[in-house]
C-alpha cells in the first residue's frame, strides 16, 4: 500500500469520511517532508530490518501497542505534543490530519504496514475511518509522555522550535504581514471615505483625467462628509459646494455640446420633471455657496450685526485680505451662476448675474486704484500691475458673457457690451506688463469678439428690418391701404421684452425650474410656486 494524502474540504460533517476537495488536491511525500512529516513503509512487521534500523538510528527504546475500535473525541481535537509522535499501523486503518504551511488541513491515510512520524510542535489530530478499527504500535525515547496541548499552543517551546526548524516562521510572519497590510489598506479606505479633504483632493486628481462621472461621485461624497462635519451653512463648505456645482455644469455641457449651444430632444421636458437635472443641482449648490459667502461678507462689513451678536462664541473678525478673497470668490460664483442660466436658456437671469459681476468688479477696480502709484514699493507695484491686468481680463470676459445673455433679449445692448469687451482688451494689449503668450491669447479673444460683433450687427439689422416691416403691416391693416388717412392713426407703440419683465427680472428667484426653464414651473408641495427670495436672505443671515 502506498501512503496517500490530500487537502481536506473546508466543511467536515463526518470525520470518518475522506472529506476530499472537489476536485481532489493530492499532497506528495515531498510536500509532507517540508512540514516535518516522515513516512516509512510499507513495513512487514516487528521483525522488518527497516524498522530495526529506524529504531536504532532514532533511539526508540520504548514500544507498546494500542487497539482502537471506538473513536474517542479527544483524539480529534487539534493539539501538539512536546515530543515526536510515532505510529506503525499493524492492522486496520485511520486518518492523521496535520496543518500545512498555509494552516490548511492535510489528511494522511494510514493503512497496514504504514509508519508515520509527526514532529514535536505540529498541530494535528487523529480519527478512525468508516471501518472503525485500528491496531497500532507506538514508539518513544525512554519513558513515554502522551500529554496533548490543545490549540492555541503557540507559546510552547516545542511549537516555536518546530516553526524555526522547518522555516515556517517566515511563512507565518508573511501571512501576518499580509493580513496587517490588508487591514491597514481597508482602514485607510474607510478613513478616506470619512475624510472630506481626502475625497476632495482625489476628485481634483480624477478631474485631470476628464472622468467627470467619477469626479462627481467623489465630490458628492466629499460635500456630504463636509456638511456632516461642519454644518450646511459653514464657510468651510463653500469650496465644496462650488466644486460640485462646477463639475455638474461640465457634465451638462458635455451632454448638450457647449455653452448655451445644445438643443434638447423632444420628450426631454417630461424626463426632467421626474428627475432633477445636473443643471438644477448645480444651480442649487452654487446658490448655496453664494448665500453663505454673501452673508459672511455682510457680517464682516457690519451689515449683519444682529447675527454676529447672537453667536455665543464669536470667531475672530476676518482680515481685509480674507474679505477681499471672499469678494473675488463671489465674482467667480456669480459668473458660474450666469453660465448656468445661459446653459438653461434663461437669458434674463444670466444678465442679472453678469451685472452683479460687473458691479463687484467695478468695486474691486476702485480698491486696486486706491493707493497712489508713487507711494508703492517695487514689490507692491508689481503686485498692483498684476492685479490690474487680471481685473481687466476678467471684466472683458464678463462683458462678453453679458453680451451672450443679452443677444436674445436686445441685440443693441448686447452689441454695446461686446464692444466694451473689445475696448478693454485692446487697451490691455498696449500694456507693457502683457507677455508674449498673454498677448497671443488676448489677440485670439479679440478675433472671436470681432466675429461676434459682425454676427450681432447682422442680427440688429435684421431685427430693425423686422420692426419696420411690422409697422408697415400694422398701418396697412388699420388704414386699409389708404395712405391719406395714415395721419389720423396714432403712432404704433412697441413694448420691449425688458419692460414686460421689469418686475420679475429684478428679483432673485430660488425656484430652479423658473431659472433653468422659463416656461416651466416646478410643482411645490402644499400649494403653488411662490417667490422664495426670503429663504435665500434667511440662509445668508443664518450663515
State how far the Cα of 123 lies from the Cα of 300, in Å rounded to an integer: 73
The dihedral formed by the CA atoms of 133, 137, 141 and 147, expressed in degrees to the nearest 10: 10
State how far the Cα of 8 lies from the Cα of 125, in Å rounded to an integer: 13
| 180 vs 154 pLDDT, higher one | 154
Nearest Cα neighbor of 206 from 258, 254, 243, 259 is: 243
Q: What is the CATH number of the domain that holds 11?
A: 2.60.120.10
For residue 63, the 8-state DSSP code is E
| 26 vs 179 pLDDT, higher one | 26
Q: Please enumerate in sequence order all residues whose Cβ is within 8 A of that of 298, keeping only pairs 6 or more positions apart, or say none.
A: 304, 540
The predicted model gives 194-207 an average pLDDT of 88
**Sign of the CA dihedral 78, 82, 84, 89?**
negative
Question: Is residue 70 situated within a structural domain?
Answer: yes
Question: Is residue 423 situated within a structural domain?
Answer: no
Question: Is residue 228 situated within a structural domain?
Answer: no
| 279 vs 382 pLDDT, higher one | 279
Question: Is residue 203 situated within a structural domain?
Answer: no
pLDDT at 174 (0 to 100): 59
pLDDT at 312 (0 to 100): 43
pLDDT at 515 (0 to 100): 37
Q: Please enumerate in sequence order all residues whose Cβ is within 8 A of that of 337, keeping only pairs 6 or more positions apart, or say none.
A: 283, 286, 287, 290, 353
Of the candidate ranges 118-132, 188-202, 262-276, 441-455, the one whose mean pLDDT is the lowest: 262-276
Question: Is residue 177 situated within a structural domain?
Answer: no
Reply yes or no on whether the pLDDT at 266 is more than 60.
no
The predicted model gives 506-528 an average pLDDT of 37
For residue 524, the 8-state DSSP code is -
Question: Is residue 277 situated within a structural domain?
Answer: no
Q: Please enumerate in sequence order all residues whose Cβ is within 8 A of that of 45, keeping only pairs 6 or more positions apart, or say none.
A: 51, 90
SS3 content of the chain, % helix, strand, coil (to 5): 60, 10, 30
State how far the Cα of 162 lies from the Cα of 81, in Å rounded to an integer: 11
Q: Are 17 and 95 in contact (CB under 8 A)?
A: no
> Does the pTM exceed 0.95?
no
Q: Please enumerate in sequence order all residues whose Cβ is within 8 A of that of 330, keeping only pairs 6 or more positions apart, or say none.
A: 290, 293, 294, 297, 360
State how far the Cα of 193 lies from the Cα of 250, in Å rounded to an integer: 24
pLDDT at 534 (0 to 100): 37
DSSP string, 375-390: G--HHHHHHHHHHHHH
State how far the Cα of 214 lies from the Cα of 277, in Å rounded to an integer: 17
Name beta bridge partners: 66: 136
| 520 vs 206 pLDDT, higher one | 206
Half-sphere exposure of 288 (CA within 13 A, CB side): 23
Reply yes or no on whether the pLDDT at 505 is more than 70.
no
CA angle 204, 209, 213 (to 5 degrees): 75
For residue range 137-175, what is the model confidence (pLDDT) as tens digits? 999 999 888 899 999 999 999 999 999 888 765 555 556
pLDDT at 23 (0 to 100): 93
What SS3 string covers 260-316?
A: CCCCCCCCHHHHHHHCCCHHHHHHHHHHHHHHHHHHHHHHHCCCCHHHHHCCCCCCC
Q: Are 251 and 207 in contact (CB under 8 A)?
A: no
State how far the Cα of 374 lies from the Cα of 384, in Å rounded to an integer: 12
Reply yes or no on whether the pLDDT at 249 is more than 60.
yes
Full residue range of the structural domain in which residue 89 is found: 4-168
Q: Which strand ranges, in their side-by-side order, compose the sheet holding 134-140?
A: 38-40, 115-118, 85-92, 134-140, 62-68
pLDDT at 433 (0 to 100): 78
The predicted model gives 279-285 an average pLDDT of 90
Name beta bridge partners: 108: 5, 96
The predicted model gives 513-527 an average pLDDT of 36
Q: Are 414 and 406 in contact (CB under 8 A)?
A: yes
Reply yes or no on whether the pLDDT at 304 is more than 50.
no
Number of domains in the chain: 1
Question: Is residue 35 situated within a structural domain?
Answer: yes
Question: Is residue 154 situated within a structural domain?
Answer: yes
Q: Say how many C-beta atoms besides its own lie within 10 A of residue 337's C-beta.
A: 27
Amino acid at each position: 500500500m502506498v501512503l496517500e494524502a490530500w487537502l481536506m474540504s473546508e466543511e467536515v460533517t463526518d470525520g470518518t469520511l475522506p472529506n476530499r476537495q472537489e476536485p481532489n488536491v493530492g499532497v506528495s511525500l515531498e510536500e509532507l517532508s517540508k512540514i516535518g512529516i516522515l513516512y516509512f513503509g510499507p513495513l512487514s512487521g516487528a521483525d522488518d530490518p527497516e524498522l530495526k534500523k529506524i529504531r536504532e538510528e532514532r533511539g526508540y527504546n520504548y514500544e507498546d501497542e494500542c487497539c482502537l475500535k471506538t473513536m474517542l473525541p479527544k483524539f480529534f481535537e487539534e493539539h501538539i505534543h512536546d515530543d515526536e509522535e510515532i505510529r506503525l499501523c499493524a492492522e486496520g486503518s485511520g486518518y492523521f490530519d496535520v496543518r500545512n504551511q498555509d494552516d490548511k488541513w492535510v489528511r494522511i491515510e494510514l493503512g497496514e504496514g504504514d509508519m508515520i512520524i509527526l514532529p514535536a510542535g505540529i498541530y494535528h489530530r487523529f480519527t478512525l475511518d468508516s471501518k472503525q478499527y485500528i491496531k497500532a504500535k507506538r514508539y518513544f525515547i525512554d519513558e513515554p509522555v502522551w500529554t496533548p496541548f490543545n490549540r492555541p499552543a503557540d507559546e510552547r517551546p516545542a511549537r516555536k522550535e518546530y516553526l524555526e526548524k522547518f522555516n515556517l516562521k517566515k511563512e507565518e510572519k508573511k501571512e501576518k504581514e499580509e493580513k496587517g497590510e490588508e487591514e491597514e489598506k481597508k482602514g485607510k479606505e474607510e478613513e478616506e471615505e470619512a475624510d472630506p479633504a481626502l475625497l476632495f483632493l482625489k476628485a481634483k486628481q480624477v478631474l485631470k483625467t476628464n472622468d467627470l462621472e467619477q469626479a462627481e461621485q467623489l465630490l458628492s461624497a466629499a460635500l456630504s462628509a463636509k456638511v456632516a462635519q461642519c454644518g450646511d451653512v459653514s464657510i468651510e463648505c463653500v469650496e465644496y459646494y462650488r466644486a460640485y456645482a462646477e463639475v455638474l455644469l461640465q457634465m451638462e455641457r458635455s451632454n448638450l455640446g457647449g455653452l448655451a449651444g445644445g438643443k434638447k430632444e423632444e420628450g426631454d421636458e417630461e424626463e426632467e420633471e421626474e428627475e432633477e437635472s445636473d443643471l438644477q443641482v448645480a444651480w442649487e449648490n452654487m446658490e448655496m455657496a453664494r448665500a453663505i459667502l454673501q452673508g459672511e461678507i455682510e457680517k464682516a462689513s457690519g451689515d449683519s450685526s444682529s447675527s454676529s451678536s447672537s453667536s455665543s462664541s464669536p470667531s475672530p473678525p476676518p482680515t481685509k485680505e480674507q474679505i477681499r478673497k471672499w469678494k473675488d470668490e463671489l465674482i467667480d460664483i456669480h459668473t458660474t451662476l450666469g453660465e448656468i442660466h445661459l446653459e438653461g436658456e434663461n437669458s434674463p437671469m444670466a444678465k442679472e448675474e453678469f451685472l452683479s459681476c460687473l458691479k463687484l468688479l467695478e468695486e474691486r477696480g476702485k480698491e486696486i486704484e486706491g493707493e497712489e502709484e508713487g507711494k508703492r514699493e517695487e514689490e507692491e507695484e508689481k503686485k498692483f500691475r498684476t492685479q490690474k491686468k487680471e481685473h481687466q481680463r476678467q471684466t472683458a470676459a464678463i462683458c462678453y458673457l453679458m453680451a451672450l445673455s443679452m443677444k436674445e433679449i436686445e441685440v443693441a445692448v448686447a452689441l454695446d457690451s461686446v464692444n466694451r469687451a473689445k475696448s478693454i482688451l485692446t487697451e490691455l494689449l498696449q500694456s507693457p506688463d502683457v507677455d508674449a503668450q498673454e498677448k497671443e491669447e488676448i489677440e485670439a479673444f479679440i478675433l472671436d469678439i470681432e466675429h461676434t460683433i459682425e454676427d450681432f450687427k447682422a442680427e440688429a439689422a435684421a431685427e430693425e428690418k423686422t420692426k419696420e416691416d411690422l409697422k408697415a403691416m400694422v398701418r396697412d391693416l388699420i388704414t386699409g391701404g389708404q395712405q391719406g388717412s395714415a395721419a389720423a392713426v396714432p403712432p404704433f407703440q412697441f413694448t420691449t421684452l425688458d419692460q414686460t419683465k421689469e418686475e420679475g427680472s429684478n428679483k432673485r428667484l430660488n425656484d430652479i425650474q423658473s431659472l433653468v426653464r422659463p416656461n416651466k414651473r416646478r410643482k411645490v408641495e402644499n400649494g403653488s410656486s411662490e417667490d422664495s427670495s426670503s429663504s435665500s436672505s434667511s440662509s445668508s443671515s443664518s450663515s
